[in-house]
Structure 1
Amino acid sequence: MRLTKLEHACLIIEIEGRRLVVDPGSFGSPMIDVADVDAVVVTHEHPDHWTPDQLAHLLATNPGMTIYGPAGVASAAADFDVHVVADGDTIEVGPFDLAFHGSRHAVIHESIPVIDNVGVLVDGRLFYPGDAFTVPPVPVEILAAPVGAPWLKVSEAMDYVTAVGATTVFPTHERTLSDAGLTMHFDRLRSSAETVGGRAVLLAAHESLEI
């Protein structure tokens, strides 16, 4: 499995030459000519996790791909054929085994409605929670851990890393932080990962990790 972290919250996972795209949002480069995509997972409806343009770019190159997301995404992306998934669902698409965990976005503020959010576990190894602190009911080898967001404190990110207890952790959702802020937050995530016997790696945009 090859994991490529794009800008902010977007990931590409490759197995056997096929690709899964997660959360192609507004903070990322246009996904033009990204080929061999079997599926896209959109964890929730916020634009930093999906845009109509990004989905249209992907569909133009991959007309047979499937889009998965919770009910809130299906409503927000009504112009697209979104297959609704929820907590506990499992799906096989191409070479990917997907298991979905969680149901609600983390609370931003009491004045802001809490929306649907579903995390995805890929091949029983890599878990991406979207904008939530969901702890899957199974062991996780690789965790994509949100590191900066309006709904997140660094202490919460640290607690989340220790609660999941993954072997390898890498930060996502970093575009709300300065370079100095990302370095500081990453150091905290790394210390938390090490307390449970894991490690943390910092991936730059478009950097890959063989897992």
Structure 2
Amino acid sequence: MRITKHEHAALRIEAHGSTLIIDPGSFTTVLGELHALAAIVITHEHADHWTPEQLERIFAAAPDVPIFTTAAVAAAIHEHDVTVVSPGDELAAGPFSLRFFGGAHEQIHSSIPVVENVGVLVDDLLYYPGDSFAMPEGVEVDTLAIPTGGPWLHLGAAMDFTLAVQPRRAFGTHDMTLSVAGRAMHLARLKWATEQHGGEFHALDPGDSLDI
């Protein structure tokens, strides 16, 4: 499996001769080759994780690509193949296996409604929690995509999440709201947390790939 980090929360997963896109949001400018995608996974409704404009870009190249997402996102997408997923669901997306966890976005503030969010485990290898610290219960995580910055995120909570998951390897994502200095500081702390249980941390920039 090859994982390519794009800007902010967008990930491109290549395996089995096919491609899966996760969370193509408003901060993402490059998604790479978009033909013959197996599927798109959208973890929740916020614009930094998906926009109609991004989907139109993708549909122009792959008009029949299926989407797996929450009910709120599905209600906003028309005339396309959308499957609503919930925590506990296990299904196939082309050659990829997907398992979903969590259920709720981390709280941003008491004045802002909490929306539905699903974390996704791809091929029992890569776990991406979306905007949450939902544990993938019963799973030994090979590779963890760790949310690194955002209005809802406390760095200490991200460190504790990493310590609890104990991944074999990890990298940071969800980071476009951070300054260069702030991102470097957060990644250094997440590297420390990953290494406490013998894991290996990879500081990926947009466009960088990790082969697992």
Query: What TM-score bracket applies, with the shorter chain setting the length?
Result: over 0.9
Query: Which aligned pairs between 1:135-174 and structure 2 lie closer than 5 A?
Result: 135-137=135-137, 138-174=139-175
- CA shift, 1:91, in A, is 1.0
Does the 8 Å CA contact 1:32/1:57 hold for their aligned counterparts? no
- CA shift, 1:77, in A, is 3.2
Does the 8 Å CA contact 1:131/1:146 hold for their aligned counterparts? yes
Gaps of 5+ in 1: none
Partner of 1:10: 10
CA displacement, residues 150-176 of structure 1 (integer Å, 9 cap, x when unaligned): 011110110010111111110000101
Deviates more, 1:57-66 or 1:179-188: 57-66
Does the 8 Å CA contact 1:45/1:76 hold for their aligned counterparts? no
In structure 1, C-alpha distance between the alignment counterparts of 2:140 and 2:76, rounded to whole Å: 32
In structure 2, C-alpha distance between the alignment counterparts of 1:42 and 1:148, rounded to whole Å: 18
Amino acid at match of 1:151: W
In structure 1, C-alpha distance between the alignment counterparts of 2:81 and 2:200, rounded to whole Å: 38
Partner of 1:196: 197
Amino acid at match of 1:103: G
Does the 8 Å CA contact 1:73/1:82 hold for their aligned counterparts? no
- CA shift, 1:81, in A, is 3.8
Alignment length, in residue pairs?
A: 211
- CA shift, 1:201, in A, is 0.6
Partner of 1:34: 34
Query: TM-score, normalised to structure 2's length?
Result: 0.96
RMSD (Å) for aligned C-alpha atoms:
1.3
Query: Which aligned pairs between 1:65-76 and structure 2 lie closer than 5 A?
Result: 65-76=65-76
Q: State the 4+ residue runs in structure 1 displaced beyond 6 angstroms.
A: none
Secondary structure at the counterpart of residue 185 of structure 1: helix
Does the 8 Å CA contact 2:6/2:31 hold for their aligned counterparts? no
- CA shift, 1:79, in A, is 5.9
